[in-house]
Amino acid sequence: QFSDSAGYVGFANLPNQVHRKSVKKGFEFTLMVVGESGLGKSTLINSLFLTDLYPERYIPGAAEKIERTVQIEASTVEIEERGVKLRLTVVDTPGYGDAINSQDCFKTIIQYIDNQFERYLHDESGLNRRHIIDNRVHCCFYFISPFGHGLKPLDVEFMKALHGKVNIVPVIAKADTLTLKERERLKRRVLDEISEHGIRIYQLPDADSDEDEEFKEQTRVLKASFTPNLFIPFAVIGSNQLIEVKGKKIRGRLYPWGVVEVENPEHNDFLKLRTMLVTHMQDLQEVTQDLHYENFRSERLKRTGKPVEEEVVDKDRILQQKEAELRRMQEMIAQMQAQMRMKPGDD
């Protein structure tokens, strides 16, 4: 219980100071995008950040794809909004799922994520820690095909291998191939399969969870649209084209039977995905730091490749332990001796 202070002190201004400093410092965020070719990843990323991240894209022919390995392509851009600078890195993984044998498909990806952790660990343990650059992957959008009936074996293998290293957000793109009923069915199926295989995806903290029951019931419908966890995996549509609808130019896709609007919440979950990403950027970074990075660090330090100072410290500790044990033994012996001396007296 905190009582308001009797007179003015001034620390109520702290949040403003934090705000000011963070704007000066700028933000950085790394988003990784994984999925088979042709699922709509690039179009979605361009739609999300309203920019063209892939101006000269090379799409190989089918013959080249047979033996194709996974590449890691990271592109960093600086975008600014209302004075807030964001250094955004999008890590693309072309070649994922292309080869006829996708057995080693995600080894490259795991290696990349580990390398970023390794580099951060090295920087953090160094002597000069002024300018640590955080290139760790904060979020991974995993694209699930809307044409199938649920997860595929490759999807399950990937997520199981990476859910302990990065925040996984499953996404269904090209959602304009699904009717609303089919969308519900696919989402439910995917969620069932995720829990069936013990996959841990990123859980968003629910908003407004401490309101009373009556209020919750009244605003249930409204709340639903602000409770992102009900919509995962997000079924989204992306578009690079502007189409005129009712006098306005909007992002969408033009078909003979109608126009799909990207930012229409009745058509798809695009807005929810963008809102989630933007409002939870900080949380995604924190979970990466507090959970995934810490896991990596403790595993890494347990292995034999420990830094030298740690080894020496260990030896000292072992020595101390042994000395303590010796002392304990000596005490026990003394006790027993005392007991034995007392015994003849008792008899």
Binding site for other proteins (CB under 8 A): 37-39, 59, 61-63, 65-66, 68, 98-103, 105, 145-154, 157, 174, 176-177, 179-180, 253-261, 266-267
Query: How far is it between the farthest Cα atoms of the chain?
Result: 111
Closer by beta carbon to other proteins, 62 or else 308:
62
Sheet holding 258-261, edge to edge: 242-245, 248-255, 258-261
Look up residue 180 and give its two tokens.
């609303």
Residue 221 Cβ vs other proteins, minimum distance, rounded to whole Å: 18
Closer by beta carbon to other proteins, 65 or else 85:
65
CB 18 within 8 A of CB 26: no
Look up residue 151 and give its two tokens.
């997860």
Closer by beta carbon to other proteins, 272 or else 280:
272
Closer by beta carbon to other proteins, 249 or else 327:
249
CA dist list (Å): 34 to 12, 112, 233: 43, 13, 14
CB 169 within 8 A of CB 232: yes
Closer by beta carbon to other proteins, 228 or else 252:
252
Residue 155 Cβ vs other proteins, minimum distance, rounded to whole Å: 9
Q: Which pairs count as long-range contacts for 318-321, CB under 8 Å and 24+ apart, including other chains?
A: none
Taking the alpha carbons of 217, 219, 225, 229 in that order, is the dihedral positive or negative? Answer: negative
Closer by beta carbon to other proteins, 55 or else 153:
153
Closer by beta carbon to other proteins, 233 or else 288:
233
Residue 234 Cβ vs other proteins, minimum distance, rounded to whole Å: 16
The structure tokens 């009582």 sit at: 3
Candidates 92, 101, 100; CA nearest to 143 is 92
CA dist list (Å): 288 to 142, 293, 323: 16, 6, 41
Look up residue 179 and give its two tokens.
């009717």
Residue 107 Cβ vs other proteins, minimum distance, rounded to whole Å: 13
Residue 215 Cβ vs other proteins, minimum distance, rounded to whole Å: 30
Residue 268 Cβ vs other proteins, minimum distance, rounded to whole Å: 9
Residue 90 Cβ vs other proteins, minimum distance, rounded to whole Å: 19
